[in-house]
A and B are shown apart, each in its own frame.
Chain A
Amino acid sequence: MTAVLQILFDALAVGSIYALGALGIALIFGVMRLVNFAHGDYIAFCVFAMLVPSTDVVAIVLIGKLPAILLIPIILLIGAVISVLSEMLVFRHLRNANPATMMICSFALGFVIQHVLLMFYSSRPKAINLWSNLSLPVEIFGARIPLLQLLTIIITFVILVALMWFLKRTRYGLEMRAAAEDFTMARMLGVRANRVIMTAFAVSGLLAASIGLILATQTGVADIRMGMPIMLVAFVATVIGGLGSLPGAVICGLLIGAASVLLQVFLPLDARPFRDAFLYSAVILCLLWRPDGIFAPRSAKQRV
């Protein structure tokens, strides 16, 4: 029983990060059919924002030294700002472009962010120590898990609940969900396009920033490429979750995380390095089974 619980916790710890990422991707995808490949770079950007720009090897932590009560809102704000800025500077001018063009632009934007970071911080990973007293194990129903991991899970769920509340109970949320599903119709009902898109980008940036904070706390490292793998999994989760379905994205993010943990646990040693091959084969099967996504809203037709 304990073993099962332990696997469950491990799966949640991995999955919850993917879920947050998938939500960030799905929000933007929903309102403007944009696969935002720069999302992973927002994550890295937020983490590096805690450090003084310097190509020295030893990182000088600046914002990262602030007490949590200041640090968290500042980093979240930075995430929202870079995300909104990229909307205003780049994506706004591409509203009527086809999805491939927007996707390539987002990739180019991510490339720019990466190389700007590279220029100001050099490529060597930097150490960040946030809240080191969280690095203690705790015991829950016999399963021993690091406090940090537990917090990651809790924080993820707090964020998810807060976001669900925002989406379900507020006017903004209602408009955003509607816009995610059928943008033109929502506009014909008076939903303001720019406001919804900006809000979506802001929320997506907040999510990127929270992933950044969680990752930085969990790994203690700032690395320019740190957001990329999460972005890719999140992207996959968004599609197999069903385009336009935010809960689908979250659930599939969790599922992919869980699947990778289960594969890690049950594959024999020799096959373990091939874990991702199994994972992505499962993704292909999943797509064949439900091309529109597992949780696609019934009325949603593929528009890409």
Chain B
Amino acid sequence: MKTTKKLAILAAAGGLLLSANAAMADDIVIGMATAQSGWMQAYDAPARESALIRIDEINAAGGLLGRQISVVEADTKTDRAEGARAGLEVLDGGADMVVVSCDYDFGAPAALAAQAAGKISFFLCAESIKAGIQGVGPFSFSASVLAAVQGATMAEWAYEKKNVRSFYVLLDTWIEYNKGICDGFDWMAPSLADAEVVGRDTFVNDDASVAAQITRIRNLDPQPDAIMLCSVMPGAASVIKQLRAAGITSMILNGSAVDGSYWLDSVPGLDNFYVPVQGSIYGDDPNPAVTAFNEAYAERTGAGPSTQYTYPGYVLIDVWAKAVERAGTLDSAAVVAELEKMVDEPTLFGPRTFNSEIHHQNRGRYLISEVSGGAPHIVDEWTISEPIPLEALLK
């Protein structure tokens, strides 16, 4: 027990050391409470990197309000409680704004800490309506686009452009994001005249086999025009592989979470597969500035972006800095007011709109990426005909 007491004293002393770890007094400080270890790390790191790119750009151009931006960081270790601590730690380090982990569940504790301290927080790429006013508070934002918009986009686009009339919905109940996609799809589907949902099923991401679910699809006659798959890695790759191995050739739609070519080796020669993306990592984005960004990113990190989730990190610094510039102050309320005035604010990766009800995108321009012959490329662009209303998002 003697040792335990010593540990406690040591621990207390260490706590002091850490809080002294603040930045230069004159700088604007952005706190990053993101995952640098654990399984979220792979998702947080690229977005964090692109946020840093935007910060460097701003600093190079003379800074924000005439001041340089510096960054303090803390590791959330992909742990909720650790996330809350990381949030407090960067706040202790003098953060004027806090960037939190990509996923709502893992980012919320830090965002709540920022909210309690009266600071603005941005989720790196959360796509739940809760990542904002509804789940954190009025100072919280997300720079990505709601998952529901992705489902709705795929439904409307496939209906209009691919003449899809029969859909099959296969939902992975593992995480909230998946349900968001399917919810968006379900909001859109009834407004598509004479389109029909011919069946539904669920699975869990880590199911060892989805044989039974696949049999249910195969027993349909005729086969559905498209399968709306609402899933993420690794389950998504596994299901797609098993669907194709079972001889099901229907078009498969999914959310942005399965963007990227890194997993395509799982299903060699994959065809007829579509996802919405905010920008193209494949070098064929209609906006050449995106391709230039990809190159800058590659120069900095040694490899180009691996998924479109790299981009929201850039967007969040971009829109926040614009709002700060317009407000002329770092005062949270004033910056939030400026952010809420943004309507279709152009960014490198599509327009952004915030208002006093939604700090997220309930409508958004998406590029449509098609995988054919095992290779992805951009084939189209789509913006849903009307924004998804808040009530539908909160259902």
Contacts and interface: CB of A to CB of B under 8 A. Distances in A.
Interface string B210-244: 01110110110000000000000110011001101
B239 to A, nearest CB: 9
A221 B234 contact: yes
Contacts of B267: 129, 135, 220
Contacts of A132: 268-269
A226 B206 contact: yes
B390 interface: no
A219 B242 contact: yes
B215 A127 contact: no
Contacts of A123: 38-42, 78
A228 interface: yes
B329 interface: no
B238 A144 contact: no
A135 B78 CA distance: 35
A146 interface: yes
Interface stretch (B111-119, B186-194, B197-205): B197-205
Contacts of B238: 218-221
Contact of A17 (B78, B208, B219): B208
Contact of A6 (B41, B42, B215, B247): B215
A226 B237 CA distance: 13
A39 interface: no
Given A132-B268, A215-B208, A57 B303 contact: yes
Interface residues of A, number: 55
Interface in A199-239: 215, 218-226, 228-230
B211 A149 contact: yes
Nearest to A16: B209
Nearest to B208: A17
A165 B353 CA distance: 68
A86 interface: no
B197 to A, nearest CB: 11
Interface string B269-312: 10000000000000000000000000000000001001100000
Given A9-B211, A124-B42, A261-B212, A273 B245 contact: no
B385 interface: no
A219 B237 contact: yes
A100 B383 CA distance: 57
A177 interface: no
B265 to A, nearest CB: 4
A264 B245 contact: no
A14 B242 CA distance: 13
B237 A127 contact: yes
A220 B41 contact: no
B11 interface: no
B204 to A, nearest CB: 7
B262 A230 contact: no
A33 interface: no
Contacts of B215: 6-7, 10, 265
A18 interface: yes
A149 B303 CA distance: 37
A14 B208 contact: yes
Nearest to A17: B208
B233 A218 contact: no
Interface string A1-45: 001001101110110011000000000000000000000000000
A139 to B, nearest CB: 10
Contacts of A136: 245, 247
Contacts of B219: 3, 6
B249 to A, nearest CB: 11
Given A137-B247, A220-B265, A122 B241 contact: no
Contact of B233 (A17, A124, A145, A264): A124
A6 B41 CA distance: 41
12 contacts: A6-B215, A10-B211, A10-B212, A17-B209, A61-B265, A146-B242, A218-B209, A219-B234, A219-B266, A226-B206, A261-B211, A272-B202
Closest 4 A/B residue pairs (Cβ): A220-B266, A219-B238, A127-B265, A125-B234
Given A125-B263, A127-B264, 8 more contacts: A10-B209, A123-B42, A146-B242, A149-B209, A220-B267, A222-B234, A226-B234, A261-B211
